[in-house]
Amino acid sequence: MDIKIVDNFMPEDVFLEYSKSIIRIPWSISSVVYEGKLGCELSCNKLDNFMLVHGFYQNNIPKTEFYYQFIQPLLSHLQINSLIRAKINLNPRTEKIIQHGYHIDNEYNNSFTSILYLNTNNGYTQFKESGTKVESVANRLVTFPTSYYHTGSTCTDQKYRMALNLNYY
């Protein structure tokens, strides 16, 4: 499998309701790229290496049953045998676009990453080996093997860049 991009992943009315409701979840602050982790390469100033995050699912366990319901619409649209991790990332707007650094999401063989962009902005996901750049467009889903090195960015034209990240078999 190579990089697969699907625009209008969800029906528009379903997506609009979904993107409005998911912003209300509780957020924590986190590093974007974990410095020193195998497979990670920080390319930005350490002070810019942060985002807001909410983890829905990790290591076969929903973080909370209540918030787990927020990823159910996606799971029903994807052919997932086993979910590894599900989280949402929110990168605040910056004066100039900051690319955080290339990384892989996990080291499980034959697993995949899908990213659903929840708002349109001038941020992106870029892949190291191919140089492919996927623009952040609301309701766009990009899927690729988790072994692909990729990086995200901030945006300059909206208040934030928000994306849901799923790792699975």
Helices (H), the chain: 12-22, 65-68, 72-77
How far is the C-alpha of 164 from the C-alpha of 123, rounded, in Å? 14
Mean pLDDT of 57-70: 74
What does the radius of gyration of the chain's CA atoms come to, in whole angstroms?
15
Task: Enumerate residues 6+ apart whose C-beta is below 8 A from 45.
Answer: 98
**Residue 167 CB-density burial (10 A; 0-12 exposed, 13-18 middle, 19+ buried):** buried
pLDDT in tens, 89-136: 999 999 999 888 888 988 888 999 999 999 999 999 999 999 999 999
Mean pLDDT of 132-161: 96
Q: What is the dihedral of CA 134, 118, 162, 123, to 10 degrees?
A: 30
Coil/strand/helix, residue 152:
strand
**Which pTM was predicted?**
0.87
Mean pLDDT of 52-74: 77
For the chain, domains (ranges, CATH) are 4-168 (2.60.120.620)
Mean pLDDT of 65-69: 74
